[in-house]
Amino acid sequence: MFHHLKRKRREGFTLIELMIVVAIIGILAAIAIPNFLRFQLKASASEAKANLGAIRTAEEAYFSEFGVYVAAAAHPAAVPGSTKAVWNPAAGNGFNTIGWSPTGNVYYQYGVSVGAGNNEYWAQAVADIDGNGMNNAWAYVAPIPGSTTTGAADVISAGQCANSGVYNATTGMQDLLNTVGPCDNVSGQSEF
């Protein structure tokens, strides 16, 4: 008589199976989240390269029309941290003169200095986008034609770029001219 009764089939997952799934998800998250954060920092660093290239274009266009480069005071006033800073330079800032402004707020502080004859310049971008207290710095150095340095002084007090050029991985020195690049071996992608 009892053999006619159908056994009730158990459905669902056991607690052990659920714990294994949660553990697997935790391991994947532990691997993926740091990589994702590193990717975000690298993407933020690309802002400096793009904006320095745009500053270079604006400076060269201004030079071709007026025969001088224009200095621009460091802006924003303080080196931004891991959040974007408001971009609103004062009316007399050189960025307004050359007609350059980034789209929206910025992760980097930008500045341009020129040499005594206004025929050479040095553009720089500095930030601490990962908030670790170590600045990430990029630059573009345009010397007097035929020269290997600029006479321009550093307008960004927290900068670490030399007016002799950007970091050259081959020589290990700051000697690349007319190139947007990191200022040293710890700036750029290697910091992340």
Contact in structure between 156 and 112 (CB atoms under 8 Å): no
Q: What is the value of pTM for the model shown?
A: 0.76
pLDDT score at 55: 95
pLDDT score at 2: 55
Average pLDDT by consecutive 10-residue portion of the chain (192 residues)? 59 88 92 82 84 94 92 89 87 88 91 84 88 85 71 64 80 84 74 54
Strand partners, 125: 110, 138
Tokens of 129: 């986008």
- Rounded Cα distance between 88 and 69, Å, is 21
User: Residue 123 contacts by C-beta under 8 Å, 6 or more apart in sequence?
Assistant: 52, 55, 56, 59, 110, 111, 112, 139, 140
Tokens of 189: 């992608």
Nearest CA-CA partner of 74 in 170, 139, 154: 154
pLDDT score at 83: 86
- Rounded Cα distance between 154 and 152, Å, is 7
pLDDT score at 192: 52
